[in-house]
Amino acid sequence: MSQEPRALRAINAGQSVADNATRLEGLEKATGAARYGRDQIKKDMLWVRLIRCPWGRASLDSLDRDAALATPGVVEVVVSGDAGDYHGDSIGYVVARSRRSLERGLQALDAKWTRLDCKTGILDDESARGPMEEPSDQVASAIDDAAFTFEATYSTPVQTHSSLETHGLMIEPDGENSIVHASTQGTFVVADQIGRFLGKRRSRITVDCEHIGGGFGSKFQIGKEGAAGGLAAKSSGEAVYSFCDREEEHLDTGNRPGLLCKVRLGHDADGTIRGARFETFGGTGVSRRGGGARVPSGRFEFGTLDARNHRDVQFNAGGPRAMRAPGCPQGAFVEELLIDEIAHRCGQDPLDLRRRLDDSDRRQRMYDLAADLIGWKNRAETGSQSGTMRTGYGIGTCDWGKGRAPAKIEVVVHPDGHLEVRTGTQDIGTGQRTAMGALVAARIGVPLANISVAIGSSKLPAGPASGGSVCTPSTAPAAMAAGDLARERILAGVAEREKLDATTLTIDDGVIMNGGRKVIRWEDACRRLSEPISVTGEFDGRASAYWGEGSSEGVQAARVEVDCETGQVFVRDVIAIQSCGLPLVRKTAESQIMGGVIQGTSYALFEEQVLDPNTGAVLNANLENYKILGSEDCPRIIPVLWRDDQTGVRALGEPPVIPTAAAIANAVFNAIGRPVRDLPLRPDRILAALAEPMAERVVAVAPGTTERETRA
Amino acid sequence: MTDDSSPTSGASGSSGSSGSSGNGDVSRRLFLQTIGISAATAAADRQSANADAAMRPGGATIIGPMPARTSLEVNGAPVDFVAEPATTLLEALRERCDVTGPKEVCDRAACGGCTVLLDDRPVASCMMLALDATGRKIMTVEGIGTVDDPDPLQVAMAEFDAMQCGFCTPGVVTSAKALLERNPRPNIDEIRAALSGNLCRCGTYPNIFNAVLVASGQEPVEEPTDRGQTIPGGRA
Ligand code: FES
Ligand code: FES
């Protein structure tokens, strides 16, 4: 960037409830003291591994169950099927006393398979391969009325969540009860689901997940590994450890489905879009559902629309699961690149066209800030550059709804002034723990140092799963209510003793004040308690004063450099402006935005699950061939926490991952003058694009011109 | 990987990611078991406590295939256990020594989650046999500092929020510690390079860079911001 971006501090200071708070469990994580489900290793426990299909589709010819059972240490072999419908599909499991005996047992099992024909992608579907259907009459006539028509096809790959802690759980017997250490985004979901396999009532099960090594949407259900673990625990009565290995994680724990999207639209010379038809095809593997994409998103005016022409295409691969803003990054990639293509055809600045097509006031202001911070004024005309290294600028946008769910938060006030915040929800790395602590502290008016947070146990007050960016927005009203209740209780006591009016009392940084006069320190007021008091704040999942209005919105701008000899794309800077209602903890909020940008950059450049079209085997079910972004590829990121008059807490987990790939694809288009309509933006695709003619213009560049050229 | 001294060679002999489901890992261990015998031989003269070592007529010491006594020095303390010779250092630490800071993420040298310091050099502990670590100084993230007595690098990691889920963090801290030991004032490019073997799925790299810069007495550069102070006693 030609000019340094302004300091983050200057941008984000004062924007959040807790500006300087650090993650409460930060040192535990930095010293290795934090224990995850996968770290719950006992000397005597059973190991479980699923028996999996090695091909896209195969039938089982034979396996030697007896030999497996005769292997020292193997305690159980369960075979419940004789065919697999995708690579990684399971037909049973083996249980053994150690991982070594488990491995030997699986070898002795010696499963022999016959490979069968299989389908391996969206393009195995005839209608996906074929031409677009005719638009409806209204859309056809809207397109006809427009000056130009435009047609294009876009695609995105299968992305795997690749959480570093794999899916699974460890089950420990505890008398009649079971403790389940799960790597999950849904403490209470696991508690509900595992009983069936364990053969235990819900009241006999405690789910514990104090720390979770990543969860980006795939860790809601217990999965087959969890079910097998539960069954093994039931039949043995012993401690059981059942986690996927890295290959299984890639094969059978969900993914962001691939998308094929065909678009036909009619636009005028000024970029106005009169009407459009979108057809989407989502690859759902063996699942029936889950391939949908949010395109068009509704953020831009597309005139008369034929949307929601969606088809889920099945083939022989593991099915999708929700992944951080399901359907949205792929939809945004299509929609935003499409807008830039239209802008280019009409000789317009894509930012100006967005300003016209987008009716969100908040995003209008975000466009200005993004343009300023990225240095949009340095952007060269699309396709105007020559030479090896070419620089491009691109924009992407997002919004995210207002999902909410019931939640409870308990606050215990101890006589020493210490506050214990108790919530059964989980902190998957979002900073939920810190956010709840900081919010209660702020509501009461005491320093965060007074607070500890107990989180991630089904024994604690119930709350939602970490998904849909619902968790923090829903627990925040409960935390605010709990904080207010605790504060009122203490102030009422002080007012009574001091003969003051409780409504005039305030608490400022741990000191109870009456007007400008200090009455008593928080700790001293609490000391009068004979025993700890407990209050519970509740959010019923409906609108309330604590809930507030509005949703989350964002704009991102990317600057890239493209090496036109090698086809490599380097993402240099990303400005990520994100609103989330009332931001809670500045540092963790910035981290979430940054994480979204990094995953989005990784999605734009590298990630792609590859299926062998002949065998249906996944060719890169590991972290060396399935590449995720590393330290050397990481752009500079300026996460901007937006705060305006919104008072409720809103989504922050998912929205920042939506615009990044779109912004990068637009920046690449700007740099090289040809759109690359398929993700990831691999070097071979860049080079292939460069071999094509420059993207067409239908309107001359000169500003104010309306002269038409031949219709497209 | 984390360092050119990492014993990553041989990683790929293992798995050849063709369509062999689930048993890539099995065959890799077989492979390790096979080479384990010769590797263990080399280790054997450092291995006085090996109860199961037997002398071959030719004079070479072989260990296994039965479980063998193994002695390690982990974070300054001796540990002693019996394990099959094919046990990797990572398994030994996590499953025998109750040292779970190093994480098993890929188990094949692709992610850095299992990084430990072996005689002060970072290695992928999933790619080395425990027996080969006998007689050498093993330090894990737990040995670098504790919650009550953290290393300045760990404090900086927390202050800069250089973690989200934290699963990559032990490996990151260990690699970064090794970097600072050999280069007390690394610049941003050196930091990026030193951490290029440590994958973080949550996406915390910029904060990690700043934490390392600040821990080495330098200004944070990647996004210039004063991140405030850790709140004492604020931990859960
Ligand atoms: S490098 Fe050892 S677990 Fe990934
Ligand atoms: S913090 Fe989650 S993987 Fe790095």
B195 and B121 together in one domain: no
Using CB distances shorter than 6 Å, the residues near ligand 2 are A 164, 214, 429; B 163-169, 200-202, 204
B106 interaction partners in chain A (CB closer than 8 Å): 246, 622-624
Question: What CATH architecture is A38-116+167-243?
Answer: 2-Layer Sandwich (3.30)
Q: Domain tally for chain B?
A: 2
Q: Specify whether the CB–CB gap between A392 and A562 falls below 8 A.
A: yes
DSSP annotation of A216? S
Q: Which residue has the higher pLDDT, A1 or A181?
A: A181
How crowded is residue A141: how many other Cβ atoms within 10 Å of its Cβ? 15
B100 touches chain A (CB under 8 A): yes
Q: Which atom of ligand 2 is nearest to the CA of A163?
A: 3
Two tokens, residue B225 = 């911001």
Proximal ligand: closest to the CA of B200: 2
Q: What pLDDT band is residue B19 in, cutting at 50, 70 and 90?
A: very low
Contact A247 B86 (CB under 8 A): no
In percent, how much of chain B has pLDDT > 70?
68
Instruction: Find the residue in B nearest to A50 (Cα).
Output: B22
B92 in a structural domain: yes
Is the pLDDT at A447 greater than 60? The verdict is yes
pLDDT at A701: 60
B125 and B186 together in one domain: no
pLDDT in tens, A248-266: 999 999 999 999 999 999 9
Ligand 2 pocket: which of B164, B173, B174, B207 to mutate (most atoms <8 Å of CB)?
B164
Q: Specify whether the CB–CB gap between B65 and B85 falls below 8 A.
A: yes
Residue A51 and residue A390: Cα distance in Å, rounded?
A: 50
Residue A20 and residue A473: Cα distance in Å, rounded?
A: 21
Contact B101 A41 (CB under 8 A): no
Is the pLDDT at B227 greater than 80? The verdict is no
Tell me the average pLDDT across A182-208: 96
pLDDT at B236: 23
B129 in a structural domain: yes
Instruction: Name residue, tokens 């047992």.
Output: A105
Residue A44 and residue A100: Cα distance in Å, rounded?
A: 14
Q: Ligand 2 mean position to B202 CA, how many Å?
A: 4
Q: Specify whether the CB–CB gap between B194 and A157 falls below 8 A.
A: no
How crowded is residue A549: how many other Cβ atoms within 10 Å of its Cβ? 12
B39 and B125 together in one domain: yes
pLDDT in tens, A102-128: 999 999 999 999 999 999 999 999 999
Q: Which atom of ligand 2 is nearest to the CA of B201?
A: 3
Q: Which of B22, B105, B226 is nearest residue A247 as measured by Cβ atoms?
A: B22
Contact A53 B21 (CB under 8 A): yes
Least confident of A6-20, A282-296, A654-668, B181-195: A6-20
B205 and B151 together in one domain: yes
pLDDT at A700: 72
B75 interaction partners in chain A (CB closer than 8 Å): none
Please, what is the average pLDDT of chain A?
95
B134 and B152 together in one domain: no
B231 in a structural domain: no
Question: What CATH architecture is A407-539?
Answer: 2-Layer Sandwich (3.30)
Is the pLDDT at A406 greater than 90? The verdict is yes
Is the pLDDT at B235 greater than 90? The verdict is no
Tell me the average pLDDT across A540-548: 90
What's B166's domain CATH number? 1.10.150.120
B9 in a structural domain: no
Closest-CA residue, ligand 2 atom 4, reads B200
B36 and B121 together in one domain: yes
In one-letter notation, the amino acid at residue A547 is: W
* Contacts of A704 by beta carbon, 8 Å cutoff, 6+ apart: none
B17 interaction partners in chain A (CB closer than 8 Å): 619-622, 625
Indicate if the alpha-carbon torsion angle A45, A49, A50, A51 is positive or negative.
Answer: negative
Q: What angle do CA A291, A601, B173 make, to 5 degrees?
A: 115
B179 and B128 together in one domain: no
- Give CA separation, A422 vs A185, A248, A457, B234, in Å: 17, 35, 9, 15
Ligand 1 pocket: which of B107, B128, B141, B168 to mutate (most atoms <8 Å of CB)?
B107
pLDDT at A10: 67
Residue A500 and residue A219: Cα distance in Å, rounded?
A: 52
Q: Ligand 1 mean position to B125 CA, how many Å?
A: 7
B228 in a structural domain: no
- Closest of B75, B70, B66 to residue B48, by C-alpha: B70
A28 touches chain B (CB under 8 A): yes
Q: Domain limits of chain A?
A: 38-116+167-243, 259-401+550-711, 407-539
Two tokens, residue A692 = 């094509």
Instruction: Find the residue in B nearest to A613 (Cα).
Output: B19
pLDDT in tens, B207-221: 999 999 999 999 887
In percent, how much of chain A has pLDDT > 70?
97
Is the pLDDT at A214 greater than 60? The verdict is yes
Q: Which of B141, B167, B200 is nearest residue A36 as measured by Cβ atoms?
A: B167
Classify residue A499 by burial, with Cβ atoms within 10 Å: 0-12, 13-18, 19+: exposed
A628 interaction partners in chain B (CB closer than 8 Å): 199, 201
Q: What pLDDT band is residue B24 in, cutting at 50, 70 and 90?
A: very low
Proximal ligand: closest to the CA of A431: 2
Q: Ligand 1 mean position to A375 CA, how many Å?
A: 40
- Give CA separation, A232 vs A92, A197, A642, in Å: 11, 9, 49
Q: Which atom of ligand 1 is nearest to the CA of B104?
A: 3
Q: Locate all alpha helices (DSSP H) within A291-374, ordered by sequence.
A: 328-345, 350-357, 361-374
Q: What pLDDT band is residue A11 in, cutting at 50, 70 and 90?
A: confident
Cis peptide before A72 (omega within 30 of 0): no
Q: What pLDDT band is residue A9 in, cutting at 50, 70 and 90?
A: low
Q: What pLDDT band is residue A693 in, cutting at 50, 70 and 90?
A: very high
The reply to whether ligand 1 has any atom less than 6 angstroms from the CB of B122 is no
Tell me the average pLDDT across A676-686: 98
Q: What are phi and psi of A397, to 5 degrees?
A: -135, 165
Q: Ligand 2 mean position to B186 CA, how many Å?
A: 23
Do A407-539 and A259-401+550-711 have the same topology in CATH? yes
Q: Ligand 1 mean position to A247 CA, how many Å?
A: 13
pLDDT at A566: 98
pLDDT at A210: 97
Secondary structure element (H or E) that encloses residue A516, with its range: none
A621 touches chain B (CB under 8 A): yes
pLDDT in tens, A324-346: 999 999 999 999 999 999 999 99
B104 and B207 together in one domain: no
B157 and B196 together in one domain: yes
pLDDT in tens, A574-614: 999 999 999 999 999 999 999 999 999 999 999 999 999 99
Q: Which of B144, B154, B167 to mutate to test the interface with A (most CBs of A within 10 A)?
A: B167
Q: What HEC string does chain B produce?
A: CCCCCCCCCCCHHHHCCCCCCCCHHHHHHHHHHHHHHHHHHHHHCCCCCCCCCEECCCCCEECCCCCEEEEEEECCEEEEEEECCCCEHHHHHHHHCCCCCCCCCCCCCCCCCCEEEECCEEEEHHHCEHHHHCCCEEECHHHHCCCCCCCHHHHHHHHCCCCCCCCCHHHHHHHHHHHHHHCCCCCHHHHHHHCCCCCCCCCCHHHHHHHHHHHCCCCCCCCCCCCCCCCCCCCC
Is the pLDDT at B232 greater than 60? The verdict is no
Residue A653 and residue A636: Cα distance in Å, rounded?
A: 20
pLDDT at B56: 53
B14 in a structural domain: no
B194 in a structural domain: yes
Is the pLDDT at B52 greater than 70? The verdict is no
A/B interface, count of CB pairs below 8 Å: 293
Tell me the average pLDDT across A464-474: 90
Is the pLDDT at B28 greater than 60? The verdict is no
Ligand 1 pocket: which of B14, B93, B116, B126 to mutate (most atoms <8 Å of CB)?
B126
- Give CA separation, A316 vs A43, A116, A640, B147, in Å: 39, 11, 42, 48
pLDDT at A107: 97
B87 interaction partners in chain A (CB closer than 8 Å): 100
Q: Residue A89's Cα: distance from chain center in Å?
A: 25
Q: Specify whether the CB–CB gap between A382 and A668 falls below 8 A.
A: no
Instruction: Find the residue in B nearest to A56 (Cα).
Output: B19
Tell me the average pLDDT across A26-39: 98
B208 interaction partners in chain A (CB closer than 8 Å): 631
Dmax over CA atoms of chain A, in Å, equals 86
Contact A595 B208 (CB under 8 A): no
Is the pLDDT at A288 greater than 60? The verdict is yes
Q: Ligand 1 mean position to A327 CA, how many Å?
A: 31
Q: What pLDDT band is residue B22 in, cutting at 50, 70 and 90?
A: very low
- Give CA separation, A676 vs A44, A128, A569, A711, B158, in Å: 54, 19, 12, 23, 40
Residue A265 and residue A273: Cα distance in Å, rounded?
A: 7
pLDDT in tens, B34-51: 333 333 333 433 333 343
Ligand 2 pocket: which of A36, A164, A211 to mutate (most atoms <8 Å of CB)?
A164
Q: What pLDDT band is residue A7 in, cutting at 50, 70 and 90?
A: low
Contact B236 A622 (CB under 8 A): no
- Give CA separation, A121 vs A87, A286, A612, A661, in Å: 13, 11, 10, 22
B16 interaction partners in chain A (CB closer than 8 Å): none
A631 interaction partners in chain B (CB closer than 8 Å): 191-193, 195-196, 198, 205, 208-209
Tell me the average pLDDT across A361-387: 95
Is the pLDDT at A695 greater than 50? The verdict is yes
The string of DSSP letters for A454-503 reads EESBTTSPP---S-TT-HHHHHHHHHHHHHHHHHHHHHHHHHHHHT--GG
CATH number assigned to the domain covering A259-401+550-711: 3.30.365.10
B85 and B109 together in one domain: yes
Residues spanned by the domain of B132: 28-46+66-143
B236 in a structural domain: no
B111 and B201 together in one domain: no
Is the pLDDT at B21 greater than 70? The verdict is no
3-state secondary structure of A511: strand
B166 and B98 together in one domain: no
B125 touches chain A (CB under 8 A): no
